[in-house]
Amino acid sequence: MWSGRFSENPDALFESFSESLSFDRRLAPFDVQVNRAYAKALHRIGIFSDAEITLVLKHLDHIAIELEAGTFPFNRGDEDIHMALERRLTELAGAVGARIHTGRSRNDQVVTDMHLYLKTVNQEAQKALRALSETLIEKAEHHLTTVLPGYTHLQQAQPILLSHYLLAFFWAIQRFRQRLEENFVRLDVLPLGSGALAGSAFPIDRAFLASELGFTRVSPNSLDAVSFRDTFTEFSGVLTQISVLLSRLSEDWILWSSQEFGFLTLPDAFSTGSSMMPQKKNPDSLELIRGKAASNAGHLQALLTLEKGLPLSYNRDLQEDKLHIFSVIDNVLPALKIVRKIVATSTFHPEQMKEAVHLFTLATDAADYLVEKGLPFREAHVVVGQAVQKCVREKQNLTELTLEEWKTFSPLFEEDIFGWLTLAHSLERRNLPGGTGPKSVQTQLEQAKEQLRK
């Protein structure tokens, strides 16, 4: 389509190396939308007559149908989806089609397609986060008082409630919903009319285009519109961070479904077996989610590295951005749905969780007890640390110490220490806002629901 100035055909290897149709094909429905709106705008400035615009829109409808039906006749020589559609339009409509690219460049066209596409995906991601939020709330309600060991450094730290654990993910997700909303505002800007870099030389009505395509604003500077990819990278970054969050949940749940932890049974529908070992039921779904978080980190890196090295404005290097953006999307959107289903259908084992809570996790409470009796915390910490050391040495549990033994560590210990050394007491003591105490978590649940109602 641009061969006028050239005296040699593209090298075949270069042609296959540089094609983008295999991946930018997914922009086709958006490119049709853009063509439709743009044709109307050209009509308004007289490039198309009334008869011609009718014809163009009819053929674009036809192309849309072909695309949806999978019958669109792609050609070997189609460099990209934009060229394929223009070529097809010209085949169908003749010279009329050859007017569609007036005052337009693929540079502003592709970013317009991308804005439309990403707005759609952004909203899908928001919806999936909302669904996951609801499921976390339901599950938290169901396990409001289920106790399990809380970990730091993968060492048992203090008892916590499963509901509290699940809500931790809820709150993180709300931040991501917010980030997506904010990113949406930045995506909601029309680049079309920016031409190759300098702005269209035809007096296209950009406000009209924006309204036709559902954009709130038009981009204020044509060079800005075709050069930078920061809003796409931002979007990919938010999705990548979401996948890091899902990876952390996966990490925990893979541990929990091990024989050693035994806190959780994953649904068969999200597990797989081994080709060799008949007993195996593997948490492949969660492992893949974890693995795809690694892939996303790499894709984000590629986007940053890509853009970093470039002078203004468009450079062909940027073609690669779609590969990475699309991969991130394909890695995260299904993952969100899969995690929601796994959260909804996994079976927790409250008995095993409770039994697993090592009573050493009450050591902080024992130190706090001494604080209540007047000992400065740092000294109380040392006293209880020594008691723990003795227990470890003698393979005793902390709750097995007699009052007499406690007293060898500090005379402040009295009979009431034993009332402190229970899971229930430990949890009750953490009813401040944001704490894992049952009342606090109940309040938190209400806040979470309120948050979703907004």
| Using rule CB under 8 A, residue 279 touches its own copies | yes
Considering only residues 124 to 143 of the shown chain, the ones binding its own copies according to CB under 8 A are: none
Find the shortest distance in angstroms from Cβ 408 to its own copies: 14
Contacts (Cβ under 8 Å, ≥6 apart) of 352:
261, 262, 263
Cα–Cα distances in angstroms (integers) from residue 300 to residues 119, 296, 305, 350, 357, in the given order: 19, 6, 9, 39, 39
Nearest-angstrom CA–CA distance, 307 and 294: 21
| Using rule CB under 8 A, residue 92 touches its own copies | no
| Catalytic residue from among 153, 250, 299, 346 | 153
- Contact assessment for residue 330 and residue 121, using Cβ atoms and an 8 Å cutoff: no
- Contact assessment for residue 56 and residue 2, using Cβ atoms and an 8 Å cutoff: no
Binding region for its own copies (CB under 8 A) out of 30-38, 82-90, 129-137, 410-418: 82-90
Considering only residues 246 to 265 of the shown chain, the ones binding its own copies according to CB under 8 A are: 247-248, 251-252, 254-255, 257-261
Considering only residues 141 to 160 of the shown chain, the ones binding its own copies according to CB under 8 A are: 149-160
**Contact residue for its own copies among 122, 133, 240, 346 (CB under 8 A):** 240
| Catalytic residue from among 16, 49, 258, 274 | 274
| Using rule CB under 8 A, residue 381 touches its own copies | yes
Binding region for its own copies (CB under 8 A) out of 64-72, 116-124, 131-139, 440-448: 440-448
Considering only residues 335 to 364 of the shown chain, the ones binding its own copies according to CB under 8 A are: 335, 337-338, 341, 356, 358, 360-361, 363-364
Whichever of 12 and 69 has its CB closer to its own copies, that residue is 12
168 pairs with which residues across the strands? none
Q: What angle do CA 114, 181, 209 make, to 5 degrees?
A: 40
- Contact assessment for residue 173 and residue 122, using Cβ atoms and an 8 Å cutoff: no
Two structure tokens written together for 361? 């996790």
x-marked contacts with its own copies along 61-80 as a string, rule CB under 8 A: ------------------x-
Catalytic (active site) residue 164: no
Closest among 56, 51, 3 to 34, alpha carbons compared: 56
**Contact residue for its own copies among 51, 70, 71, 201 (CB under 8 A):** 201
Binding region for its own copies (CB under 8 A) out of 22-30, 59-67, 411-419, 437-445: 437-445
Whichever of 132 and 159 has its CB closer to its own copies, that residue is 159
Catalytic (active site) residue 18: no
Find the shortest distance in angstroms from Cβ 131 to its own copies: 13
**Contact residue for its own copies among 25, 234, 422, 442 (CB under 8 A):** 234
- Contact assessment for residue 202 and residue 39, using Cβ atoms and an 8 Å cutoff: no
Contacts (Cβ under 8 Å, ≥6 apart) of 269:
341, 345
Three-state helix/strand/coil letters over 26-48:
HHHHHHHHHHHHHHHHHHHCCCC
- Contact assessment for residue 391 and residue 401, using Cβ atoms and an 8 Å cutoff: yes
| Using rule CB under 8 A, residue 438 touches its own copies | no
Nearest-angstrom CA–CA distance, 353 and 308: 49
Q: Taking phi first (over 0 means left), then psi (-120 to 50 degrees means alpha), and beta for anything else, what does residue 46 get?
A: left
Find the shortest distance in angstroms from Cβ 163 to its own copies: 10
| Using rule CB under 8 A, residue 199 touches its own copies | yes
Whichever of 319 and 422 has its CB closer to its own copies, that residue is 319
| Using rule CB under 8 A, residue 85 touches its own copies | no
Structure-derived torsion over alpha carbons of residues 409, 412, 415, 420, reported in degrees to the nearest 10: -80
| Using rule CB under 8 A, residue 186 touches its own copies | yes
Active site residues: 153, 274
